Chain A
Amino acid sequence: MKRRIALAALIAAIAALPAMAQAAAEEDALTVYAYDSFSGEWGPAGDLIPLFEEKTGIKVNLVGGGDAVEMLSRIELEGDRTEADVILGISDDFAYRAYPYLEAYDSPYLDDVPDELEFDPEHRLIPFDYGAFAFVYDSESGIRKPDSLEDLTSPEYEGKAILIDPRTSSVGLGLLFWTYNLYGEDFLSWWLGMKENALTITDGWSSAYGLFTEGEAPIVLSYTTSPVYHVMNEDTTRYQAIIFPEGHEATIEGMGIIKGTDKRAEAEAFIDFMLTDGQLETAIANSMYPVSSAVQLPEAFEYAPKPGILYQSSGIALGDRERIIDEWTEEMSR
């Protein structure tokens, strides 16, 4: 009897398998490799891709490729055989890895993008959204709001901050570069000052922000846009991003056309679409700012204050990156 039940379950399960695979790729579609934030369940792709197809008549074969590094590895491994025509979701800190596989495109819509966001002057990678790392704090926790990055190291914040490890997270790496851009070779003294103030240094943003919302500590490393979620979904302004006068580290996300594509025109149309109709929805879904200054943001973004000064990690030389991480590891592991 049991055997028969097991068999029936197996057959039912196998029968359900094909339903899991979505429609196979169409032959002459434009293939877009996109990171999960775009193609995932909550990503903007679900609305934007049909809109693009309807507007242009170009079919899109969207391939979710994990995060930036996974997509890059895929492109590298596939080499000339790659089906990709467009890649979307490479942040500026990995840009150097993508350049050899891309061809430049001077989209007319780049006119609406402020120069300081165009991290690649050759336009192989074209920015579509950006964010700024920031400390978010719980205004109902009773702590004094820190007024600068330096202020965070003051003893009153002992055990009050949740940081993220630069060895395992791009957000953590963002903070490390932020301190390097700000303090230069002296960056480690800020970190030494934070040793007692950090409750823990987590592996990634998800666990850090989870600990923060559970009330483990009133300060967390995140983005300037983080409060928007709480305003829109929980109707509270309790969690606030703090703008520091010293400036903030930016993260800019880009897209590009794969070298040697036979769908250059379609690829250009897609890039143009992302710089216009795709801007707002992508920004909201990713909790980022749109790059185009032509876009009007919804009210909730009032709670996502834009920093006055932005630093870029693409300015840090490759050799320095590795050295900075090594020095950080050496000092912080003690």
Chain B
Amino acid sequence: MGRKVPGSYGLRALPAIILMAALFLVPAAFVFSTALRDNAAPLLATIRDGRTYSVLLFTLWQAFLSALASTAIALPFAAFFANYSFPLRKAVLALAALSFTMPTILTVLGFVIWYGNNGYLNSMLKAVFGLAGPVRILYSFKAIILAHTYLNFPIAFLLITSAWQSSASIEEKASYMLGKGRLRTFISVTLPSIWGSISSSFSMIFLFCFSSFMIVMVLGGHPRYYMLETEIYRRVYIDADIPSAAGLAVFTSVVTSALLALASWGRKEKKAHRSRRELRKARGPALAMAIIMVLLILCFLLPPTLSIIARSLISKSGDFSIGPWKKALEAGSGAIATSFAIAAIAALLASSMASSISLYAAKSGSRLLPLLSSLPLAAGSVTIGLGLLAASTALDLAPALRPLVVLLSHTIIVLPFSVRTVMPGAMKIPERLPAAAAVLGAPERKIISKVEKPLLRPYRKRAFCFAFALSLGEVNATMMISLGRITTLPVLIYDMINHYDYQGAAALGTVLLLEALAVFTIAEWGGKDHGIS
């Protein structure tokens, strides 16, 4: 901080900051004030309770391993995708972000249909190897990590690929010429230029897994696997003890915010060079490698997703039927449009807010701002839901305003992802570029719109896709604020499941996927990316 930043950057970031503050701080303030009432009794009770720490320990360990696995596995794939062009490359990139469009319940079901004791994979293994019993993949700690990697690997893969691709290869070549080996070049040259994206995706995945809960319980299969978020949920929904839930929520938010601050501390971004990496055409061994990589990714990401699509077409008696599709589409036509509209607007808002916040933060060297924008994620969805419920009750919203509040809360929920996606891009903009434009007499407004924003475009596109996917799958806040008046697709999916219609729910899940796929495809192919040049 402390660097002098031209005023208009701050001005552009201001609406985003105000919105962020209003939408996050109001609910947060309610949760804090509840936790601190009676001389902070609820908070103190949580701090003094020994059980808090054993749950915290498991939560941290699980989230750490999940984030580590997702990022480590993503790294070699990103390395390859950032350097070579080959058939299906863009298709894989577009497909990768699909996995977290699904509401968790369908992810869990997809996992069970594919990996379960009675799942397709086990049926295939049985047919091929003639095994007596199923290979037990689920219902263990490893299954939790597997599912989290499935869900979050795409985040790391896409972010690191973007960053890697837009970091120039000149320095690497120079390093090779100086006789440095591949490993040393990677560590001293490449790694620093992609470090921002690695740590950004690691912390995002960490926070995501920190508040994961259905996956941990169902696929972990043991009451021992119990998360802080689950305990907050229990205090709200089973004990109906909101002060004690608020106490734990505040404790949790403090822990995650501290971790976030730690992760952003000491991060140094290397400014990029003028040339963007040219993709080499994969030939010979590289092409073979490309085929292997594409197959590996598809074999990992597609089966659970395809299982849901298969489930939507095949009834439990094993017959092919589209009856549930008809019923689901009839019931869901409104929800399909509603979900699309909310997700599209929220994603547009979030990605443009993210770019103005990121530009300002990058200029001013502010670490506080990206940190602040990550807080909604750090707080967890139960906490936000709790706060939103209280805030919307207290503000006594007119019913006509509720769609707007639903929309804005979606924006806030997806904002952390957007900022974390755009931030590495903003940090990479070399200072001398806008400086050169300024010397040539370009007004600030023009520098932002003609120089810096275009440079951010690939990051914004990615941020838009993430935000769109996330918003499409969002349930909690929507239900909490809309009071049952706004039915989005995921809300409808849960509704159908509560009425035993799993096939219809799978059909609507497929519709969600198609909506997301359409948007990703447009984003991946449409428009020309400007490199950091």
A positions within 8 Å CB-CB of B: 2, 6, 9-10, 13-14, 16-18, 20-22, 24-25, 36-37, 39-42, 63-67, 69-70, 72-74, 77-78, 81, 94, 97, 165-170, 173, 199-204, 206-207, 209-211, 213-216, 226, 229-230, 233-234, 236, 285, 287, 322, 325, 329, 332-334
Known interface pairs A64-B485, A165-B223, A199-B139. Does A42 touch B403 (Cβ–Cβ under 8 Å)?
no
- A173–B345 Cα distance when bound, in Å, is 40
Q: Is B458 an interface residue (CB 8 A)?
A: no
Q: Is B262 an interface residue (CB 8 A)?
A: no
A77 touches B393 (CB 8 A): yes
- A14–B221 Cα distance when bound, in Å, is 44
Q: Which one, B10-18, B94-102, B236-244, is touching chain A? A: B236-244
- A226–B119 Cα distance when bound, in Å, is 23
User: How near does chain A come to B82, taking the closest CB pair, in angstroms?
Assistant: 24
User: How near does chain B come to A191, taking the closest CB pair, in angstroms?
Assistant: 10
Identify B396's interface contact among A10, A40, A81, CB under 8 A: A81
- A207–B217 Cα distance when bound, in Å, is 10
Give me 20 other A-B pairs in contact (C-beta within 8 A), A200-B218, A207-B214 excluded: A2-B526, A10-B344, A10-B345, A13-B341, A16-B341, A20-B341, A21-B402, A40-B495, A40-B498, A66-B480, A73-B240, A78-B393, A167-B238, A168-B213, A168-B217, A168-B233, A199-B221, A201-B223, A207-B218, A214-B118
Chain A residue nearest to B54 (CB atoms) is A333
User: How near does chain A come to B308, taking the closest CB pair, in angstroms?
Assistant: 11
User: How near does chain A come to B20, taking the closest CB pair, in angstroms?
Assistant: 20
Known interface pairs A166-B238, A168-B234, A329-B223. Does A21 touch B344 (Cβ–Cβ under 8 Å)?
no
Prevailing SS type, chain B contact patch: helix
B500 touches A209 (CB 8 A): yes
Chain B residue numbers with a CB within 8 Å of A74 are 389, 393
B221 touches A36 (CB 8 A): no
Chain A residue numbers with a CB within 8 Å of B237 are 67, 69, 168
B357-406 interface with A by 8 A CB criterion: 389-390, 393-394, 396, 398-400, 402-404
Q: Is B222 an interface residue (CB 8 A)?
A: yes
Chain B residue nearest to A66 (CB atoms) is B479
Q: Which one, B107-115, B279-287, B293-301, is touching chain A? A: B107-115
A14 touches B345 (CB 8 A): yes
User: How near does chain A come to B64, taking the closest CB pair, in angstroms?
Assistant: 20
Chain B residue numbers with a CB within 8 Å of A167 are 223, 226, 230-231, 234, 238
Which residue among B217, B348, B396, B400 has the maximum number of chain A CB atoms within 10 Å of its CB? Answer: B217
- A11–B213 Cα distance when bound, in Å, is 37
B positions within 8 Å CB-CB of A: 105, 108-109, 112-113, 116-119, 138-139, 213-214, 217-224, 226, 230-231, 233-234, 236-240, 242, 315-317, 331, 337-338, 340-341, 344-345, 348, 389-390, 393-394, 396, 398-400, 402-404, 407, 479-480, 482-487, 492, 494-502, 526-527
Can you give 29 contacting A-B residue pairs, CB < 8 Å?
A2-B527, A6-B348, A10-B348, A14-B345, A17-B404, A20-B486, A36-B495, A39-B484, A40-B487, A40-B498, A42-B499, A64-B483, A64-B484, A66-B480, A73-B389, A165-B223, A167-B231, A168-B234, A199-B221, A200-B138, A200-B139, A201-B221, A203-B218, A206-B498, A213-B502, A214-B109, A215-B118, A325-B238, A334-B224
User: How near does chain B come to A87, taking the closest CB pair, in angstroms?
Assistant: 13
Chain B residue nearest to A72 (CB atoms) is B240
Chain B residue nearest to A325 (CB atoms) is B238
- A63–B199 Cα distance when bound, in Å, is 44
B238 touches A216 (CB 8 A): no
A170 touches B238 (CB 8 A): yes
Which residue among A64, A78, A81, A214 has the maximum number of chain B CB atoms within 10 Å of its CB? Answer: A214
Chain A residue numbers with a CB within 8 Å of B479 are 36, 66
Chain A residue numbers with a CB within 8 Å of B118 are 214-216
Identify B492's interface contact among A13, A41, A69, A226, CB under 8 A: A41
Chain B residue nearest to A15 (CB atoms) is B341
Which residue among B223, B407, B486, B526 has the maximum number of chain A CB atoms within 10 Å of its CB? Answer: B223
- A168–B221 Cα distance when bound, in Å, is 14
A73 touches B242 (CB 8 A): yes
Known interface pairs A77-B393, A173-B238, A207-B105. Does A201 touch B217 (Cβ–Cβ under 8 Å)?
yes
A24 touches B238 (CB 8 A): no
Chain A residue numbers with a CB within 8 Å of B239 are 322
Chain B residue nearest to A331 (CB atoms) is B223
B402 touches A234 (CB 8 A): no
B317 touches A234 (CB 8 A): yes
B495 touches A17 (CB 8 A): no
- A204–B220 Cα distance when bound, in Å, is 14
Known interface pairs A63-B483, A214-B112. Does A77 touch B500 (Cβ–Cβ under 8 Å)?
no
Chain A residue numbers with a CB within 8 Å of B220 are 200
Chain B residue nearest to A9 (CB atoms) is B344
Chain B residue numbers with a CB within 8 Å of A22 are 399, 485
B484 touches A21 (CB 8 A): no
- A9–B526 Cα distance when bound, in Å, is 15
User: How near does chain A come to B104, taking the closest CB pair, in angstroms?
Assistant: 9
B487 touches A41 (CB 8 A): yes
Identify A333's interface contact among B224, B234, B389, CB under 8 A: B224
Chain B residue numbers with a CB within 8 Å of A18 are 400, 403
User: How near does chain A come to B279, taking the closest CB pair, in angstroms?
Assistant: 22
- A18–B338 Cα distance when bound, in Å, is 10
- A229–B324 Cα distance when bound, in Å, is 14
- A333–B340 Cα distance when bound, in Å, is 42
User: How near does chain A come to B489, taking the closest CB pair, in angstroms?
Assistant: 11
B345 touches A210 (CB 8 A): no
- A67–B498 Cα distance when bound, in Å, is 12
Identify B499's interface contact among A20, A229, A332, CB under 8 A: A229
- A74–B389 Cα distance when bound, in Å, is 7
User: How near does chain B come to A251, taking the closest CB pair, in angstroms?
Assistant: 14
User: How near does chain B come to A252, taking the closest CB pair, in angstroms?
Assistant: 17
Chain B residue nearest to A14 (CB atoms) is B345
* Pairs of residues from A and B, 5 with the lowest C-beta to C-beta distance, nearest first: A64-B484, A200-B221, A229-B500, A203-B217, A215-B118
Chain B residue nearest to A33 (CB atoms) is B483
Chain B residue numbers with a CB within 8 Å of A166 are 238
Chain A residue nearest to B404 (CB atoms) is A17
Chain A residue nearest to B231 (CB atoms) is A167
A36 touches B484 (CB 8 A): yes
User: How near does chain B come to A308, taking the closest CB pair, in angstroms?
Assistant: 25
B224 touches A94 (CB 8 A): no
Chain B residue nearest to A172 (CB atoms) is B238
Identify A13's interface contact among B238, B345, B526, CB under 8 A: B345
- A94–B237 Cα distance when bound, in Å, is 10
- A1–B72 Cα distance when bound, in Å, is 38
